[in-house]
Amino acid sequence: MTSEYVHGYSAPEAARLVDQASTLTELLHCDTTYPAGSLVLEAGCGVGAQTVTLASQSPQASFVSVDIAPVSLGRAKARVAEACLRNVTFHEADIYTLPFAEAQFDHAFVCFVLEHLARPEAALAEVRRVLKLGGTLTVIEGDHGSAYFHPDSEFARRAIQCLVDLQRHAGGDALIGRRLYPLLVQAGVREVCVSPRMVYVDASRPALVDGFIRKTFTAMVEWVGEQAIRQGLIEAEAWRRGVRDLYRTAEADGTFCYTFFKAVGLK
Ligand SMILES: C[S@@+](CC[C@H](N)C(=O)[O-])C[C@H]1O[C@@H](n2cnc3c(N)ncnc32)[C@H](O)[C@@H]1O
């Protein structure tokens, strides 16, 4: 390391870099660790974005991560190998019909999956089936109805609503975060505790301005624009203005709030 580095090597700067790297990871996963020797099912692991965090936070636990999409599993495997983690195995599987015996796992973890499913209750019941008595089930979901921001914009809210509508048309529920408690209870999960995790962003948190407002939330809304216009959910000009107004909240006087919901219960 040389002394030319513009931000320097002070302790506060080092802390800032650590904070930056662990933006949502810290908020969502800081309290998720599994005991040595336990077997954990991750259902709907996708490209392994959460797998790496789970497996590195609990190096003595073993993870079985499943997803229905082989292409995502391939990426997840590569990500885990790159992180030199050896405590994860992957399987192609449908969360509705898991290829595992009853009571096979000590714990289970599901993140950003239920929002895409037409039958989240059935999926939860199936994950519960493969859990041991006394094992924990952790579920994390967002809720797009929890997004509010400054400057407020009717167009931005309409653009977000397009995403909610499109997800509903596809059988999912982008507002599922607020339903986690009843869903888990209906699936027979006991002692359910839901903790809302709010992301608050202003210009004093540049990593979140870029990482959350621009690259996570607005990019996600922007992605469905063509589809929303094609389906007649919104006019092209209103859409463009909505996306522009969302990016506008990332400017120096803008702010943005969004809440994730994390539920933990027992079989
Ligand atoms: C938004 S991604 C989330 C991935 C990962 N949990 C994360 O947080 O990054 C949703 C994942 O659920 C998977 N999925 C959807 N339906 C599924 C099903 N019936 N069984 C298993 N996985 C499914 C998708 O393939 C996708 O990888």
- Check residue 215 and give its pLDDT: 85
Residue environment code for 153-182, b if the CB has 16+ CB neighbours within 10 A, otherwise e: bebbebbbbbbbbbbeeeebbbbbbbbbee
Beta bridge partners of 136: 107, 266
CA of 74 relative to ligand 1 center, distance in Å: 13
Atom of ligand 1 nearest to the CA of 69: 25
CA of 73 relative to ligand 1 center, distance in Å: 10
43, burial (CB in 10 Å: exposed 0-12, middle 13-18, buried 19+):
buried
pLDDT, mean of each 10-residue run, the chain (267 residues): 39 41 80 97 93 96 97 93 96 98 98 96 98 98 98 98 95 97 98 98 94 89 92 96 98 98 98
CA of 67 relative to ligand 1 center, distance in Å: 6
Beta bridge partners of 177: none
CA of 228 relative to ligand 1 center, distance in Å: 22
Nearest CA, atom 1, ligand 1 = 112
Nearest CA, atom 10, ligand 1 = 113
- Check residue 49 and give its pLDDT: 87
Atom of ligand 1 nearest to the CA of 111: 6
Residue environment code for 237-256, b if the CB has 16+ CB neighbours within 10 A, otherwise e: ebbbbbbebbebbbeeebbb
Name residues contacting ligand 1 (CB within 6 A). 44-46, 49-50, 67-69, 72, 94-96, 111-113, 116-117
Q: Which of 42, 116, 262 to mutate to test the pocket of ligand 1 (most atoms within 8 A of CB)?
A: 116
What predicted TM-score, i.e. pTM, was given to this entire model? Answer: 0.92
CA of 48 relative to ligand 1 center, distance in Å: 10
What single string gives the DSSP state of each residue in 132-156? EEEEEEEEEE--GGG-EEES--HHH
CA of 44 relative to ligand 1 center, distance in Å: 4
